[in-house]
Amino acid sequence: MPEKRDEGVIRLLDDETVNTIAAGEVIERPASVVKELVENAVDAGADMIKVDITVGTQHITSVQVSDTGCGMYASDAQMSFVRHATSKIRGPDDLSRIHTMGFRGEALASIAAVSRVTLVTRAEGTDVGTEIVIEGGEFLSVSDVSAPRGTTIRVDNIFFNTPARRKFLKSRQTELLHIYRAVEAEAFAHPESAFRLRVNGKEKLRTQRTTAMAQTITQVFGTDLSSQIIPISAGTPVMRVDGAIVRPADCRPNAGEIHLCVNGRPVTSPQIVRAIRAGYGTLIPKGRFPMAYLSIRIDTSLVDVNVHPAKREIRLSREKEIISGITEAIRDTLQTTDLIQSGTPVTSQDNRASVQASVYTHLPKQSQEVAEPIPGVTKSSYGNAQPERFHIRYATTDKQLRLTGNMDEDAGVNLLPPMRIIGQVADGYILAASRDNDELFIIDQHAAHERILYDQLCERRNAGIQRQELLVPLVVELNAAEKLALSANIDILLELGFIVDEFGPDAFAVRAVPMVLGKRLGTEMIHDIVSDLVVESRKSADERCDRITATIACRGAIKGGSPLTQEQMERLVLQLSHTSEPYTCPHGRPVILSYSQKELDRMFHRT
Ligand code: ADP
Ligand code: MG
């Protein structure tokens, strides 16, 4: 039975409550304050936009944005805090041709509803500036002051009156990361303004005004990109794409380094990300993403920017046409670029070693079969007669299996049925039969070893993971957001066997790595880990730790394309049987496929 209710229970909310609710939609976190204030500065035509953040031991304590834009007269300055008060549009018709960042007149009202705001502004054409202090939506003071032309807005006590929202905030590091991301996105979207971001007085990002796209990208996202990026510039009658993409070899495990702006507005768009990936086609493996820095211009009448409270998402008319235009632009650019000549510098001996190793795998098959079996010679001495490079591969695999040797011991659990190894196919799969010979198993050797390593790393995480010092530290250059993500997670990395420390203003040096990684570490692995950390900064420390563990396991594991001896296959399967979940790898992909006799019979139409 529904509960009986009284009459007259539906009431209008008072203004304060309405404003606080509305504010919650626009202002999610300190980074939203930064985004809104910066966008107002952009709309005011500022040449220079300075963002200053102060951080206490726990939280972000203040956000200040100052600009050299048009400023406001005193009456406008007061009006600017009223909800739905804007100078940017006048009526519904204007909504279909928006050329400014703002248009709803909600940001300042929302910010002022949940914090204390001090605004100082002076318009061109007047000598007197205005200072307004407003807290929780209440004007505390309005006075004349002297001020340079432009506007400075300082926001303190963010969410002081919305404890629920404040509790929801993540660590100051995470919130800072969002601020970096927001400023980067705006600086990329607005190369016509110079940007400077400081945190507690320390400069974190600085850009000059420029019309050169490549310069914008390297200024914002890091100078080491300049050797990597492939410029892109293409268009159809309804849109233009400008910016840069990277060679397939420089892809990432997530879409975190795909930076998009549409008509000067930083946006996230799964459709556009898909379109970009589609442009790479099979050049990059499934589940990986390129880096891309794209500024897309689309006829404003085809873009609805009024679909998301923070204006982060857009809706496109003639979406198919636009999306396929983007895919084609990427494809054409890649087709006309020399992809072999990779721009990635070889940075360490480890890298060189891995290049050589991959050469062996790509040798034509026959050359591995130089030695003909000699009649009467035993199988093992036949093995010895194989070319030396073959030994190198076996030896590497042996080392990898030794590192997980503890899994050989009978750990009590054995989640696999007993099986007899039949052999290896395609240097990547182990074929086996069940004891009763009525079931066929196909085991992915890489996925299997990945699972083994992952389990071992998890088990040893608390006891301390064995590490090895690198003779030559591996130096990785990172952008501001990545640097922050890395420093915020140094403890986790230490726990997992890495020793990483700052190395100059833009780089980190990796001095030790988990033992299981052996000699196969390259900068791309560190980039993979860091970009996961950037994207997953919202996740808990445990989840981040798991993700990194899975990446280490993936990198440290025996690869597909490695020939295995009978003994190695047996050890691998034995180790796998002692894992917690032998049937799936840490990424959730299958490790073992099995076909019962019945299934085989059915497949051959015998039943
Ligand atoms: P919107 O940007 O959607 O118009 P806001 O609440 O962000 O709404 O700002 C309200 C108005 O205040 C703007 O329309 C603009 O006229 C004025 N304003 C805000 N910030 C600035 C600034 N930095 N310089 C000049 N004018 C500003
Ligand atoms: Mg605005």
**Right CATH for 213-335 from 3.30.230.10, 2.102.10.10, 3.40.50.20, 3.40.228.10:** 3.30.230.10
Dist. CA 293 → ligand 1 center (Å): 28
Q: Which of 39, 40, 111 to mutate to test the pocket of ligand 1 (most atoms within 8 A of CB)?
A: 40
Per-residue pLDDT at 1 = 64
Per-residue pLDDT at 343 = 35
Nearest Cα residue to atom 13 of ligand 1: 86
Dist. CA 274 → ligand 1 center (Å): 34
Rounded Cα distance, 399 and 381, in Å: 21
Identify which of 565, 160, 128 has the alpha carbon closest to the alpha carbon of residue 379. Answer: 565
Identify which of 79, 78, 83 has the alpha carbon closest to the alpha carbon of residue 110. Answer: 83
Residue 80, ligand 1, Cβ within 6 A: yes
Spatial CB neighbours of 542, under 8 Å, sequence gap ≥ 6: none
Q: Which of 27, 75, 86, 100 to mutate to test the pocket of ligand 1 (most atoms within 8 A of CB)?
A: 86
Share of the chain above pLDDT 90, in %: 38
Rounded Cα distance, 586 and 589, in Å: 7
Q: Which ligand is nearest to the CA of 85?
A: 1
Question: Cα 219 to the chain's mean position, in Å?
Answer: 19
Share of the chain above pLDDT 70, in %: 88
If one counts every other C-beta atom within 10 angstroms of the C-beta of residue 356, the result is: 11
Residue 149, ligand 1, Cβ within 6 A: no
**Right CATH for 384-607 from 3.40.630.30, 3.30.1540.20, 3.40.47.10, 3.40.190.10:** 3.30.1540.20
DSSP code per residue over 108-121? HHHHHHTSEEEEEE
Residue 44, ligand 1, Cβ within 6 A: yes
Per-residue pLDDT at 372 = 32
Q: Which ligand is nearest to the CA of 153?
A: 1
> Which residue is listed with tokens 């002076």?
122
Which numbered atom of ligand 1 lies nearest the CA of 89? Answer: 4
Residue 159: which region, alpha, beta or left (left: phi > 0; alpha: psi -120 to 50)? left
Domain ranges of the chain: 15-206, 213-335, 384-607
CATH class of the region 15-206 = alpha beta
SS3 581: coil
Rounded Cα distance, 389 and 449, in Å: 22
**Encoded tokens for 602:** 């059915």
Dist. CA 83 → ligand 1 center (Å): 11
Per-residue pLDDT at 270 = 93
Q: Which ligand is nearest to the CA of 88?
A: 1
Given a cut of 50, the residues of the chain with pLDDT beneath it are: 341-389
* First-last CA distance in the chain: 56
Q: pTM of the predicted model, to two decimals?
A: 0.65
- The burial class, CB within 10 Å (0-12 / 13-18 / 19+), for 367 is exposed
Nearest Cα residue to atom 25 of ligand 1: 71
- The burial class, CB within 10 Å (0-12 / 13-18 / 19+), for 425 is exposed
